[in-house]
Amino acid sequence: MSWSETLRTALEAISARRLRSVLTTLGILIGIAAVMLTVGLGQGAQQTVRDQIGKLGSNLLIVSPGSSTTSGLRGGRGSASTLTTRDATMLSDPSVAPDIAALAPVSTSSQSVVAGTTNWTTQVVGTTPSWFPVRSRTTTDGRFFTSAEESAAAQVAVIGTTTATELFGRRSPVGQTITIDGSAYSVIGVLDSIGSSTTSDEDDTVVIPGTTYAARLTSTGNAASISTLYLKATSQQSLSAAYQEAHAALLVSHGVTAASADFTIASQESLVATATSTDRTLTILLAGIAAISLLVGGIGVMNIMLVSVTERIREIGLRKALGATPRAVRRQFLTEASALGLAGGVLGLALGYAGARLLPSLIDQPVTIEPYVAAGALLISVAIGIGAGVYPATRAARLAPIDALRSE
């Protein structure tokens, strides 16, 4: 019997038992769709984390202060005031850190900002003009402050889109005046929107010159103190070298060892790895649970094929009596089982892609289904069909023609 004849006969046998075949493929269908959607949800969450961390800027290293101890009470990482503008000046020297292209010292605090009769509490950032390219930001209206304005401690501000909306509604903020801690600032620009990061709304901010911040808003008593130092490597390939240079230079400058370092440096890679580890573990767990339904579907295929063998004993005996070899009989039943697995896989793919389109609008979470996941799911469904059909097909092939023909 040729392969085309085998396939035709298998499809006729499946068509003759439509309801049973549909119910058989249902388990594989649900399993394939469940695995695709759980993996897609996990990949979507990981991509969201990468996108959010990418909003910090490209080729970025983030230097944070260490922990503090005051009156016997210990604070968490970042609570000490161990970073200063002197560290920024040192690292900006190409002879100290040649792989650092630019850097931006940052001081931040939460402040109440007033515009006319409207007030809004937001994050105020004091920094240098280099913050603009280091953080890969742009403006939708107006401009960023200049080095001359920073040197003169000018009372100018660039605000985020969220802050602009809260304070001015639909009016253009550029040229308007805002008040922070009793001091008036002229709004000279509005930052382009980049959405939320893993920790905050990046569009809800007011950026002012670092010298202005030190003179009017600092609360540490040390005008040179900064809360974060952003470092931009010359390229993605030099990010590791920039990390080593900054780490070594800060250890020497602060007079500490690696074991007692009073600062930490985080790269984008480490942030992504940390943020996605939980998502990856959860995805594997959920995919494992969903795979159980695939196992159940495979058992269903095996059960139906065993029933089919029992029902068609006389047919098998007649075929063998007419010259069909055990190999041809085995191939016949394996083809039927594979067709059931393939049908369940194709329908499962369709359901999975439909769910990937529908779920994001319901749960506000992206679902990313990669082509290799779909291809793998389809191969798994066929493999389940073949695996579930091996035993029934072998049992059918071993039937003696005379015993099969005598059965009722």
Rounded to whole angstroms, the Cα distance separating 46 from 348 reads 24
Residue 68 scores a pLDDT above 50: no
Q: Which of 39-43, 376-380, 393-397 has the lowest mean pLDDT?
A: 393-397
DSSP one-letter code for 78: T
State how far the Cα of 305 lies from the Cα of 329, in Å rounded to an integer. 13
Model confidence at 77: pLDDT above 50: no
In this prediction, residue 406 carries a pLDDT of 61
Q: How far apart are CA 38 and CA 352, in angstroms?
A: 10
pTM beyond cutoff 0.85? no
CB 100 within 8 A of CB 243: no
Q: What is the pLDDT of residue 295?
A: 77
Neighbouring CB atoms inside 10 A of 107's CB total 24
Given this model, what pLDDT does residue 52 score? 65
Per-residue pLDDT averaged across 2-19, rounded?
Answer: 75
Q: Closest by alpha carbon to 1, among 324, 393, 339, 320?
A: 324
Instruction: Give the sign of the dihedral formed by CA 251, CA 257, CA 259, CA 262.
Output: negative
Measured between its terminal Cα atoms, the distance across the chain in Å is 26
Question: Greatest CA span in the chain, whole angstroms?
Answer: 106
Residue 318 has pLDDT above 90, yes or no: no
398 pLDDT more than 90 = no
320 pLDDT above the threshold of 80: no
Whether residue 271 contacts residue 57, with contact meaning beta carbons closer than 8 Å, is answered with: no
Query: 46 Cβ partners below 8 Å, 6+ apart?
Result: 276, 279, 280, 283
Q: Which pair of tokens denotes residue 346? A: 């194709």
